[in-house]
Amino acid sequence: MAWGTCRLLALLTLVFGAAGFVRGEVYQEPDAFIAEVFGSKPSPKLLWLTRDMQAQASAILGHFPAQLRQRYWSDTRRSAWILEEIGKEELITAGFVVADGHIDHVRVLVYRESRGQEVRQSAFLKQFKQAKLGQGDLLDRQIDGIAGATLSVGAMERMARLALYFDRTSRE
Amino acid sequence: MSPRLFLLRLLRRWHARIGFAAMLFFLFLAATGLALNHGNGLGLDGRFIHAGWLARWYGMKSEPPRQAFHSRHHVLIAANGRWLLDGKISGEKLPQPVGLIELADTFVVASDTVLYIYRLDGELIEKLGRDALPGIPVRAIGSIERGIALRTASGIFTSADALSWQRAARRSVLWSAPTGLSAAERQSYGETLVPGISPQQMLLDLHSGRFAGRYGPLFVDLLAVALAALSLSGAWFFLLPGLRRGRH
């Protein structure tokens, strides 16, 4: 690649990234995901992360949680969580529906990385169906990776564990 | 001296010369290659190097901040996707803020599509995306007696908890407004908020030669040719005695 093109690309990435124009690939708007799960969009609820919960969430994520409270939607059986986690360099936004302590379904809503979009495919996501938390807040099953999308797979797995943990905590 | 011996000596001499001349570069390529191969483990992808000369070298336009947002206890200055919030730098791709307000136990920063709610100690409580906002783009943020007011493209909305929003009238809102910075402040904050380059990107550019500009990759190509020549001549020196023995 010519040096001029390199500089132009770096500049464009900075300018558009800083301006927030890079929204990534939006597969489904989070609003639409919640409406699809519950039929209409119920009012959100808030889960405040206590110090203990922050420590537990840190153990799951491998880093401190980005915020102190988490918005979620729920009815008597199910809860829906829209979570964000960095795959390699950019955030992946995914929706998780938890029913009776098991993952009901998962969807990648916004994918911003340049590689690894395969994590949005149903063949990958169906591995999470009926998964629950086992010992040490790990999933009770092995999630098969995808070549070239290892970090995105890891991020999806961490978010699934966090959704299950948040669901359990929100019902205590 | 036989022509064969002459050729052998010449080749051996040049093998040594090329090997010695290229040694530093090969070591450099090996080191950068190793680092790139283990970039994730070394945490290179999540970090950024901030230096004015590096940003200039990459042709990244570093814009000094033009304004600051103040509340009673907080100050926000933003430029190049980075925020200087109460003297602490954060972010690499943060949006340009449109305002800052302070409530009883929180303060809130708004950009055109995101609302950041902080505790008074600066810890982020929640980041509200476009789905949690009553309308976008957010053009201004203000405070009412007990809550937040947003002026959006679709009207003015207020909320006490940032969960539910109600349409509201314009009056009784204290809108956040930026204050200008002096030339000295702009220069000083501009140096502080210089854009960053990921070490992984930099290593990749060093490894490929792109860091040195247009001719860098050509130089790395030459090194590749030199390495090929060294490999072939080395293999020849290694195999030659065996071939000779085979003939006798």
CB-based contact A67 B124, cutoff 8 Å: yes
CB-based contact A66 B119, cutoff 8 Å: no
- Indicate the residue of B59, B60, B214 with minimum beta-carbon distance to A2: B214
Q: Please indicate if any CB of chain A lies within 8 Å of the CB of B41.
A: no
* pLDDT for A19 beyond 80: no
Average pLDDT over residues A16-42: 77
Q: What pLDDT is recorded for position A11?
A: 47
Does A27 or A23 have the greater pLDDT score?
A27
CB A153 within 8 A of CB A146: yes
Q: What pLDDT is recorded for position A4?
A: 56
CB-based contact A68 B125, cutoff 8 Å: yes
Domain of residue A95 covers 24-171
* Count: domains in chain A: 1
Q: What pLDDT is recorded for position A16?
A: 44
Residues of B within 8 A of A1 (CB-CB) are: 210
* pLDDT for A13 beyond 50: no
* pLDDT for A78 beyond 80: yes
CA of residue A70 relative to chain centroid, distance: 12
Q: Which residue of A has its CA nearest to B40?
A: A88
**Domain annotation covers residue A72:** yes
Each residue's pLDDT, cut to its tens digit, for chain B (248 residues) gives 788 788 888 888 888 888 888 889 899 999 999 999 988 778 787 789 999 999 999 888 889 999 999 999 999 999 999 999 999 998 888 999 999 999 989 999 999 999 999 999 999 999 999 889 999 999 999 999 889 999 999 999 999 988 889 998 767 899 999 999 999 999 999 999 999 998 988 999 999 999 988 899 999 999 999 889 889 988 888 887 777 666 65
**Domain annotation covers residue A17:** no
CB B97 within 8 A of CB B67: no
Q: What is the dihedral of CA A97, A100, A101, A105, to 10 degrees?
A: -30
Q: What pLDDT is recorded for position A17?
A: 44
As a whole number of angstroms, the distance between CA B64 and CA B77 comes to 10
Q: Which residue of B has its CA nearest to A48?
A: B125
Q: Please indicate if any CB of chain A lies within 8 Å of the CB of B223.
A: no
Q: Please indicate if any CB of chain A lies within 8 Å of the CB of B125.
A: yes
Does A129 or B170 have the greater pLDDT score?
A129
* pLDDT for A30 beyond 80: yes
- Indicate the residue of B59, B81, B127 with minimum beta-carbon distance to A7: B59
Q: Please indicate if any CB of chain A lies within 8 Å of the CB of B105.
A: no
Q: Which residues lie below 8 Å from residue B181, measured CB to CB, with a gap of 6+?
A: B65, B66, B67, B68, B77, B189
Q: What pLDDT is recorded for position A5?
A: 53
Domain boundaries, chain B: 3-47+202-247, 49-197
Cis ω before B3 (30° cut-off from 0) = no
Q: What angle do CA A5, B30, A3 make, to 5 degrees?
A: 10
**Domain annotation covers residue A5:** no
Average pLDDT over residues A70-96: 93
Burial string for B7-26 (b: 16+ CB within 10 Å, else e) reads eeeebeeebeebbeebeebe
CB-based contact A66 B127, cutoff 8 Å: yes
CATH number of B49-197: 1.10.3470, 2.110.10, 2.60.120, 3.30.1330?
A: 2.110.10
As a whole number of angstroms, the distance between CA A142 and CA A102 comes to 15
Average pLDDT over residues A6-17: 47
Q: Which of B56, B61, B131 to mutate to test the interface with A (most CBs of A within 10 A)?
A: B131
* pLDDT for A18 beyond 70: no
Q: What angle do CA A51, A52, A56 make, to 5 degrees?
A: 115
CB B50 within 8 A of CB B92: no
